[in-house]
Structure 1
């Protein structure tokens, strides 16, 4: 097992994850729970051949956006990636898992992606392209590694605040719906899951007490209004392999892996979650 928190582009010292070639991916990996929200895209993920840009645009309709080949001609326009997206052009590298998963998230959760892009463009307009602020780092971390979690039992938030992982991952809480993953947003997480057994960590925004669709809509609104993701520290880490049914084995010894289920760092606190009235 490899402990592999999803990387963000601020992680300058990290070795970049190299996804396996398409013909070397075991198609059974897509049975993992992390891919459950993308079951409708099996043809694009599991077909023998890479989908080209025309296929992406045909299968993944995103209002006001289209996928374009990222080549030297495109990059020569002098624009930032996010500025092109704002113009409706999502630059996409050919035969690239990372960009394919990005395209799938655009199709599945367009309101989230549009909100992230709008906020990035506001910061680029204020900062220029040579500098990045803390909010841009937070937006990027959520884009790459983000997970939206819905919680109904406030006691679970208290356990999460303390990094009391055994309480947070009590199977009864997940089976009863007291806590649930509503959406996996991070396309870097999806890319890394091509190699089953990696111990991935999601960076979470949490909503209190709503269904999945309402939860995603509330997060999109909060991002678009600039009420969340001002700082990377707002994001709650969630060791995804600890979720009941997301990894095997999940015995008591597994939950004692301190390099993965990390204790709370002194002074670390988390912000309030989004609630129906917020």
Structure 2
């Protein structure tokens, strides 16, 4: 089996699809000539964690003898262990840049759970935090009809018949860095977890960076005050390749694949 060089790995993936528009607008990732170093993130992030430690990104190799859990390192030191030439950690760093308040809060919540239950026992809260951290997609909506449509798996209506409203009354923001990693080589079946956030209609008219600042604050409040990630009950499946503009999906036949765009299961009485 051929082993690809880091350069070949970097250029083997397409970062130009619609799913990466935000990263290209804010970070110009598709224009990077090669894998960025840890210090590259510094110019995009000036934030502290909940323990008032400045967030920095450090080569994961520096923590080879570290006995602390990943989340404990971040909370204690502010240093985010980051594997070099690694898609997962590259996108993880970018999510820190986009959602610093929410990422810091999630880190804090992990530490609180670990302090109470230890590292081996995974509570419903920690499972939900991890699921959202890896696979979450924020669906900001100004029209209350969207959550019902998507939660009821009315995929063709939501994705195709109403596609002209995407960007106007509904706007997707990827939070889970694993989503971005998988979207570098998309496949039918790729599914994220949607969390709906009600927003005023004028938010979509703002600068993209301002939109992320607003959503970051909204998420922070929803998690810290409303405890929306106490479990995963508010997370809804979202077929990522169905999102308008994220894939070659500009035809109704694409949404007829019920193995991917699955109908809602009927609840037995």
Other-structure match for 1:74:
63
Aligned residues: 247
TM-score by length of structure 2 reads: 0.81
- RMSD value over aligned CA atoms? 2.6
In structure 2, the residue corresponding to 1:90 is in which secondary structure? strand
1:193 to 170, 180, 183: 183
Distance change >3 Å, CA 197–CA 130, structure 1 → 2: closer
- CA shift, 1:81, in A, is 0.7
Deviations 1:71-98 (A, max 9, x none): 2x62433211111111211111122111
CA contact (8 A) 1:201 1:238 kept: yes
Distance 1:228 1:112 in 2: 12
Gaps of 5+ in 1: 1-18, 269-278
Distance 2:99 2:14 in 1: 22
Gaps of 5+ in 2: 49-53, 204-210
CA contact (8 A) 1:27 1:46 kept: no
2:16 to 15, 18, 31: 31
Greater relative contact order: 1 or 2 (C-alpha under 8 angstroms, separation 6 or more)?
Answer: 1
Deviations 1:211-233 (A, max 9, x none): 24433321122223461111123
Other-structure match for 2:206:
none
CA contact (8 A) 2:100 2:216 kept: no
TM-score by length of structure 1 reads: 0.79
Distance 1:145 1:54 in 2: 26
Distance 2:150 2:252 in 1: 18
In structure 1, the residue corresponding to 2:36 is in which secondary structure? coil
In structure 1, the residue corresponding to 2:233 is in which secondary structure? helix
CA contact (8 A) 2:136 2:195 kept: yes
1:41 aligns with 2:27: yes
Other-structure match for 1:163:
153
Distance change >3 Å, CA 142–CA 85, structure 1 → 2: same
Distance change >3 Å, CA 179–CA 252, structure 1 → 2: same
Distance change >3 Å, CA 114–CA 97, structure 1 → 2: same
In structure 1, the residue corresponding to 2:14 is in which secondary structure? helix
